[in-house]
Chain A
Amino acid sequence: MAIKGAVVIDKERCKGCGVCVVACPNNVLALSKNVNGKGYHYSEAILDNCIGCTSCALVCPDGVITVYKVKL
């Protein structure tokens, strides 16, 4: 059974600390080249292999990550 996940990151609240990038087991996340309104390089999903494990959301100090998961 395949599991597929997706993350939604609140760009404007993200402070670009990079803790979620390290926490992700599938290297889905990376810091963007662009910056948000406060000048932080926000985190974004660059790959499509998210498994919805919520590791990124758990370690996010600002609670900006929302995680969705679906069984295919």
Chain B
Amino acid sequence: MFNPDIIKPENLVYKKTNVLTDAVMHYCPGCGHGTTHRLVAEVIEEMDIQDKAICIAPVGCSVLAYNYFNVDSLGAAHGRAPAMASAIQRMFPDRHTFTYQGDGDLAAIGTAETIHACNRGENIVIIFINNGIYGMTGGQMAPTTLIGMKTATSPYGRTVELNGYPLQITELLAELPGTYYVTRQSVHTAAAVRKTKKAIRQAFENQKNKKGTSLVEVVSNCNSGWKMTPVEANKWMVENMFAKYPIGDIKVDGEKVKK
């Protein structure tokens, strides 16, 4: 319903931030990547660090993240984003270097780089999108794939005997002394989006105060990989993914949160 009395600049309450470019995102309809991109961009805008932010794009669905963030960006080799971010942050300590990685990038091929960057306590922000599948390559099994979940490479469902257990890399990284803030959030409802934005803001504030590594995991859907509609995928995520990957803070101010 078009209402010209209300649609005036002075009544504006929400608008896409200018830190995101106007390019149409290549992500599938309903993908959590788009929402998370927007939240990171909004935090950058709110903190007024657009000229200081440096985005390290990974390999994966978000490989083209540099087309959407209106900040300085680089593309890293597969899984090597934390290593690259470490170097850049050390060379430019006053900048805000952040990596934006998926589970295939951070938890599979980049495990070594991620663990060592976190263990060294590099002053970087890691945004980690966990959707339990390799999205870009066509829905193959990832380390974070749930037991019983069907993917292109586990057509009868993932089994412990053959494929082992889902990797809870975020809990693993929270054990390291270098990490200062580790949290797990999601972006499927408006309330969850607000919390995630708060978490991302906290991560960038920690970086500003030179506290060490901050990691924000965002449990996301992959409706193409899971072969569902976006709304069904969000529902499936709440019912299945949250059981293995519970939402909430894992480490705050360098102290593990007691459950």
Residues of A within 8 A of B (CB): 4-6, 8, 13, 15-19, 21-23, 40, 45-48, 50, 52-55, 57-70
State whether A22 touches B231 (Cβ < 8 A).
yes
State whether A62 touches B14 (Cβ < 8 A).
no
State whether B190 touches A61 (Cβ < 8 A).
no
**Counting CB contacts under 8 A, is B116 at the interface?**
no
Residues of B within 8 A of A58 (CB): 14, 35, 190, 193-194
**Of B7, B29, B38, which is within 8 A of A15 by CB?**
B29
CA distance A21 to B229 in the complex (A): 13
Interface SS majority for chain B: loop
CA distance A52 to B190 in the complex (A): 13
Residues of B within 8 A of A (CB): 1-3, 5-8, 11-17, 20, 24-25, 27-35, 38, 187-190, 193-194, 223, 229-231, 234
CA distance A4 to B189 in the complex (A): 22
Residues of B within 8 A of A70 (CB): 5-6, 11
State whether A69 touches B231 (Cβ < 8 A).
no
What are 16 residue pairs bridging A and B, where the CB atoms are less than 8 Å apart in the complex? A4-B6, A6-B6, A6-B7, A15-B28, A16-B29, A17-B223, A23-B190, A48-B1, A59-B188, A61-B27, A63-B16, A63-B34, A66-B14, A67-B12, A67-B15, A69-B6
